[in-house]
Amino acid sequence: MKQTLIAGNWKMNNGLSETKALIEDLKKIEIQDHCEVVICPPFVNLGMASQLLQGFNIKLGAQNMHYQDKGAYTGEISPKMLKDLNATHVIIGHSERRQYFGETNELTNKKTGAAIGHGLRPILCVGETLAQREGQIAKKIVRRQVIEGLKDIRLQSGEEVVIAYEPVWAIGTGKTATNDEANEMCEFIRQVLSELFGDNIADAIKILYGGSVNPKNVDGLMSEKHIDGALVGGASLKAEDFSRLIHYQVVRP
């Protein structure tokens, strides 16, 4: 059975002492084999997080990276640097990076390719704005983000990449897509992935939902057929909440 993935995006939260305290709390959580768990602290705390997590079943991810190995790119971090810190995952093209830092599908494509090339698993974020949903072009936008983000990328198994469907209107707003809305878009993404890579690889690619996932709505979302996990912002900052997400219960109607 495909492992699910619960990934915490800490965003620009938690200094050194808060990072240490939260990780010490997370280390007490029992993690079962069917669920892969990743936390993505800010860059400056990745080194300490990497040391604290040694020997524990929680993986480390970054929130962004440059696509080059090294060079004159002031303020940037390379995939090689993340590998040195034992990071396994990296969030690419989060809507906040697209919105505030002008990241385009072309850039997410370069970053996704570079991450895979270095053995990091990109969590490629896609999702429509409220205006796009209301204008009935959500699928068109998401389709383009998937196709352009994965342009010229070859996959052997599908495990090399993760897609996170994050409707922009649901991120940090407390508004969650309904289970049906989230599942419908994740199913649509899987169809697009099938067109690109064939059914077997598309089935193996984890598709996460993200957008105000919390202890109250996680069970319903995780019970949907095409949702393989969650990318979580706010609720990943408290060990108790994150633990509840990791221990989601599948509820069949």
Give me the residues that bind ligand PEP (CB under 6 A), please: 9, 166, 171-172, 210-213, 231-235
Q: Are 251 and 217 in contact (CB under 8 A)?
A: no
Q: Are 91 and 107 in contact (CB under 8 A)?
A: no
Q: 1 or 12: whose CB is closer to ligand PEP?
A: 12
- What does the DSSP assignment read for 159-202? TT-EEEE--GGGTTSS----HHHHHHHHHHHHHHHHHHH-HHHH
Task: Give me the least distance between CB of 19 and ligand PEP, in Å please.
Answer: 17
Q: Which of 36, 96, 128, 166 is catalytic?
A: 166
Q: How deeply is 149 buried, as exposed, middle or buried, from its count of CB atoms within 10 A (0-12, 13-18, 19+)?
A: buried
Task: List b or e across 103-130, with b for residues whose CB sees 16 or more CB atoms inside 10 angstroms.
Answer: bebebbbbbbbbbbebebbbbbbbbbbe
Q: 183 or 212: whose CB is closer to ligand PEP?
A: 212
Q: Which residue is nearest to ligand PEP (CB)?
A: 233
Q: 138 or 155: whose CB is closer to ligand PEP?
A: 138
Q: Which residues pair with 206 in a beta bridge?
A: 162
Q: 7 or 202: whose CB is closer to ligand PEP?
A: 7
Is 34 labeled as catalytic in the residue annotation?
A: no
Distance set, CA 103 to CA 161, 166, 222, 239 (Å): 19, 16, 29, 31
Q: Which of 66, 89, 94, 118 is catalytic?
A: 94
Task: Give me the least distance between CB of 230 and ligand PEP, in Å please.
Answer: 8
State both tokens at 18: 């808060």
Q: 11 or 66: whose CB is closer to ligand PEP?
A: 11
Using alpha carbons only, how large is the chain's radius of gyration in Å?
Answer: 17
Please count the CA atoms within 13 angstroms of the CA of 228 that sit on its side-chain side: 22
Instruction: Enumerate residues 6+ apart whose C-beta is below 8 A from 122.
Output: 89, 90, 91, 92, 111, 112, 115, 116, 161, 162
Is 247 labeled as catalytic in the residue annotation?
A: no
Active site residues: 94, 166
